[in-house]
Chains A and B, each alone.
Chain A
Amino acid sequence: MDINEIVIISGKGGTGKTTLVSSMVPFLKDVVIADCDVDAPDLNILFGNEIREEEDFVGLQRAQINDDMCMKCGQCYDKCKFDAISEDIVLDTGKCEGCGVCEYVCPVNAIEMKDFVIGKIFVSDTKYGDMVHARLIPGEEASGKLVAQVRKKAKEIAILKGAKNIIIDGSPGIACNVISSVTGVNQVIIVIEPTLSGLHDLKKVHEMVKRFRLSEYIVINKYDMSKVELQKIEDYCEKEKLKIILKIPFNKKLVEAITKKTIPSLYDSEFFKDIGFEKFLLSLK
């Protein structure tokens, strides 16, 4: 079962990742979609999906203090390295990192580690294929675990339905949730804009991605924003032997499409033809 997994990330947010992912989907055969941008899941807005499954997502266990048994000895307050327990022994679950030290040191067993729901995973039907997406409860740890769970579910569905592709919308940044989106995929597309910050962020993301042995491609969005910055990016890509696989000029209609909650490549298909979208998709095969 050779399922091609491709992830689109951006390092910096707002470069057009979701615009690109959504535009690619109608052209990918037998595809399962995974929205791994779990603290800002947006793909569902464009796909008019119907949720058919939903399940609670449990992260790391968190501490729970039984006030009736608590002797206020202060051991837990003393040993908690995350400041999750106050001096008067009140637990801030938001700060609790689930290490279990408090449970271990409590002399009267007044603390127990319990399952804690930090989000939800959804499976939806869309016109183009199944979509797995998730929502983290705001403020919770952007766990790589939730991303891993979304991907696992997407893989299960892909295998079950004999899908050929899994396309993953990743999150901004370079930390655990992004690492989790990238592990084990075949191809990574990094979407950037030609700005000073864009180049800076590209360098960091590339540093992270190149540790994984997979095919890496660059897509430059709004490339006509700055000739100077575009040149810098092209120079950098040449130096690092990075392939720039697509360049998209600024087009107000793309925002229009998103505002109308339609897929950009279907809304302004002329534009996508002009920029060589077909060739881009072919070169990914």
Chain B
Amino acid sequence: MWNERMEERIRQRVATALWIGIALFVVLSARLWYLSVLRGEWFRERSERNRVRVVFLEALRGNIYDRRGVCLAEDVPRFRLVFLVGSSEEELVMKRVREVLGRDITFSLRERAPGELVLLEDLSLEDVVKIEENSERLPGVLVEVYPARKYRDGEIAALLLGYVGKVSSEELKALGKMGYRNEDRIGKSGVESFYESLLRGEEGYRRVEVDALGRVVQVLDFRSPRFRYSLQLALDWELQKACYEALGRRNGVVLVGDPATGEILAFVSKPSFDPNLFSRGLSLKEWLDLLEQKSNPLLARPTQALYPPGSLFKILIALAALEEQVVTSRESFFCPGYLEYGDRKYLCWRRGGHGRVTFEEAIAESCNVVFYTLGLRLGPERIARYARMFGFGQDAHLDLPGVKTGFFPTPEWKREALKEAWYPGDTVNLSIGQGYLLVTPLEMYLFLCAVANRGKVYDPHVLWRVLDENGRVVREVKPSLRRTIALRSQTWDTVIRGMEKVVTQGTGFNCRGLPVKLAAKTGTAQNPHGKEHSWFGGFFPSDRPKFVFLVLVEHGGDGSGEAALVARKVVEWILQNRGV
């Protein structure tokens, strides 16, 4: 069987094998050429992405100080655990983290960026040490420092300062071009929101080279995050605190400011909330709880809630009536306890009537009958003109977000909106600040400022100074005159005298006996949902006013009671601690 032919065939087969080998060589070389020469650039990029990881370090926010330098909001360092996906098994790492920390933990497992999973936030220093000690066993797990917002005594100024939270997807859409990232913090309300552009700092980054286990081999490049500006508010923190405490368990508003500059010194809104909760991340349940509370702690009452001004509005009527000379300061009135007009009887708050009263006494006693009369003499158009002159229903130009304007009813409005004529009864109601009229506490405060300043109204402002990184003042908010209401000086004198009498002999008896000349007015806002809201607002010293204050106590009854008591505490605190 074995033969030459077979011998030859074997020879051929070996030759074939040789050709197969050469073919293989060509194929392998071609592939090598393709990978390293043709697509080398692409693969080098992949390799680069393999080894270089850019960790963005969240921007710091500027601090917020009060006018005396007390720090109200600052960034403090917190620690979180980040896991680089792919460097090892997720389950295993979580098991080991539990072992290392020695307790059962629920992981948040939030995907921050592709391939980066946040395992835990707000770690204690103790836990950080444990993790660092065991880093060999935890491949791909990094401890990261991040800034968290901390507010001094959170609740006291929460509705002024606001709070920060993670940027929402809608905000991201709107602000995407400004360099916000998925995980960034953004001011959500109050000063934090209004001055976001100043408070927001610059983000930093760390470009690191990591090995296959995600361990950092070396830091290639680093830029620390920083803030650019800090804010110094006009706010007086101690005063703010005193005002907050003066309200006690009551809900309501206290505003204090300097009429000559427009500076807001205290901005209290109660109930409040703790903005620190938002810094550590609110659970859905906590958030819903806040939203669903009937008292609505997220509402900035001074600028966002609407109330009828009640008798505080009588000051406007008094000013208008004097200026329009429908009354003189010497005129006297008789109050039988009611006013008959047409076929209706309008009651005074004192059923027995005030008897014979002078104009100034009418202010002091807040006599309804007198103001019904004056209102009817003026007529709704003239009242509306004066209200507009004083800025009712107009933008307050306050540096806070979401400031609402009140509502001032006019005959045209009623005709158009309600398809009804304006009745004298409407004028009567308007004259004592009831009916359709609604104001924000801020508007009332600004009105009092106008009176205190005898017609000169400055824009109210929360911000005082902008400081740079080194604490140098780069900008200062100067008083900016909004409007001058030119009334005759007798008009101002008479009304202010009337307001002084409110304290010395009228409804403001709860503020009697203070060692300063105080001009004020009580008010009672009718409230269809329960007990009336109690107003008390004024200024002192009345001859050269340095402080304007406004107090609103929700469900506080009439203004001579609760609100005046709160105001007394505030005025006493100022006299004791700040002087006039």
The answer to whether A and B come from one shared complex is no
Q: Which residues of B contact A (CB under 8 A)?
A: none
Q: Which residues of A contact B (CB under 8 A)?
A: none
